[in-house]
């Protein structure tokens, strides 16, 4: 097409668009009914565009979510294989089924609602007593212990988040190190403080902090975070900053864990 013809067609197209816009504007200003139709049509178009862009955004975020799930599955499988390698052959070759492992029952769940912006954060989990969830159960992920169930209804459970000043977790430095209470630092989304660690204990930045297993709520050896800066308090114990592995702002899927022997342990303690 010659250059002059191309310019001619472009000019005509621009004039057509301008006239159409002017005509629609006149219809909207000169008639209430026509204005309503045009407004509704505009809203439908904008809604379709927003919905389409949201679907596109969700589609491209799937890769990031799938990568995170794949990494979590890999870490769980690695830990499982390490456990298997340390078992006697006759136990290793046995077949296990169901959601019970050792003295714990595990129930997968999805978070229905979560609070992350107060000093007393919580989460609502989409599983209740009909699904086997009980009060006092722990809430965990592949990256940490994230809460404790305080109340249960038929299909939901209310759990106190780890990001709550009223909660602490019994934690261990490394797999064989000293044990102390781990609490949220009250400020950051991934910060915690490990307290009451004797000053003679040796550790390094980057060491992993695990659940101790001394609690009747959480199983042992769940990785929680890594060691950061530390300071000595009252000349006797360390307070150690811990960077949590779990991102509470992105929590969606969790596992409710119940220690099936906790009632027996409580009965024994009550006797003394």
Q: Where are the domains of the chain?
A: 102-272
* Structure confidence at residue 249 (pLDDT): 84
From CA 46, how far away is CA 24, in angstroms rounded? 17
What CATH number should be reported for the domain whose range is 102-272?
A: 2.40.10.340
Per-residue pLDDT of 176-189, as tens digits, reads 889 999 999 998 88
Task: Work out whether the CA dihedral 255, 267, 152, 250 comes out positive or negative.
Answer: negative
Mean pLDDT of the region 199-209: 92
Which tokens sit at 89? 């052959």
More confident residue, 114 or 272: 114
Which of 22, 255, 1 shows the shortest CA–CA distance to 147?
255
Q: CA–CA distance from 194 to each of 5, 111, 162, 239 (Å)? A: 77, 27, 13, 6
* Structure confidence at residue 63 (pLDDT): 57
From CA 15, how far away is CA 210, in angstroms rounded? 70
Mean pLDDT of the region 165-172: 92
Query: Please, what's the b/e burial string for 54-68 (b: 16 or more CB within 10 A of its CB; e: otherwise)?
Result: eeeeeeeeeeeeeee
* Structure confidence at residue 138 (pLDDT): 95
Residue with the two structure tokens 């060491």? 207
Number of helices (H), then strands (E), belonging to the chain: the values are: 4, 13
User: pLDDT > 90: what percent of the chain?
Assistant: 40
Pairing relationship of beta strands 157-164 and 120-125 according to DSSP bridges: antiparallel
Q: CA–CA distance from 18 to each of 21, 22, 31, 113, 270 (Å)? A: 5, 6, 20, 49, 84
More confident residue, 30 or 227: 227
More confident residue, 91 or 247: 247
258 pLDDT more than 60: yes
168 pLDDT more than 60: yes
pTM of the model: 0.64
* Structure confidence at residue 266 (pLDDT): 72
Per-residue pLDDT of 1-58, as tens digits, reads 555 666 666 667 767 666 666 666 665 555 555 555 555 555 565 555 555 555 565 5
What confidence category does residue 150 fall into, taking pLDDT thresholds of 50, 70 and 90?
Answer: very high
What confidence category does residue 262 fall into, taking pLDDT thresholds of 50, 70 and 90?
Answer: confident
Q: Are 106 and 257 in contact (CB under 8 A)?
A: yes
92 pLDDT more than 60: no
Average pLDDT across the chain, whole number: 78
119 pLDDT more than 50: yes
Those residues whose C-beta lies under 8 Å from the C-beta of residue 140, and which sit 6 or more positions away, are: 146, 218, 219, 222, 254, 255, 257
Q: Are 164 and 122 in contact (CB under 8 A)?
A: yes
Q: Are 151 and 135 in contact (CB under 8 A)?
A: yes
Q: Quickly count: other Cβ atoms within 10 Å of residue 200's Cβ.
A: 7
More confident residue, 235 or 6: 235
């Amino acid at each position: 097409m010659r250059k002059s013809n191309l310019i001619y067609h472009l000019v005509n197209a621009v004039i057509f668009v301008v006239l159409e816009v002017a005509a629609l504007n006149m219809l909207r200003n000169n008639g209430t009914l026509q204005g309503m139709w045009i407004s509704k049509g505009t809203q439908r178009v904008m809604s379709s565009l927003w919905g389409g862009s949201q679907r596109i955004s969700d589609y491209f975020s799937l890769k990031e979510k799938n990568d995170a799930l794949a990494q979590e599955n890999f870490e769980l499988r690695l830990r499982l294989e390490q456990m298997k390698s340390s078992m006697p052959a006759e136990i290793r070759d046995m077949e296990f089924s169901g959601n019970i492992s050792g003295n714990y029952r595990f129930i997968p769940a999805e978070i229905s609602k979560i609070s992350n912006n107060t000093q007393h954060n919580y989460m609502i989990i989409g599983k209740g007593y009909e699904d086997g969830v009980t009060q006092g159960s722990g809430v965990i992920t592949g990256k940490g212990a994230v809460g404790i169930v305080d109340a249960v209804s038929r299909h939901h459970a209310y759990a106190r988040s780890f990001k709550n000043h009223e909660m602490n977790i019994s934690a261990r430095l490394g797999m064989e190190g000293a044990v102390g209470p781990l609490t949220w630092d009250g400020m950051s989304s991934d910060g915690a403080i490990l307290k009451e660690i004797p000053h003679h204990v040796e550790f390094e930045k980057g060491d992993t902090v695990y659940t101790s297993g001394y609690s009747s709520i959480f199983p042992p050896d769940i990785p929680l975070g890594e060691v950061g800066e530390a300071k000595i308090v009252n000349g006797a114990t360390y307070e150690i900053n811990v960077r949590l592995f779990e991102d509470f702002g992105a929590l969606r899927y969790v596992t409710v864990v119940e220690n099936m022997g906790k009632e027996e342990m409580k009965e024994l303690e009550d006797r003394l």
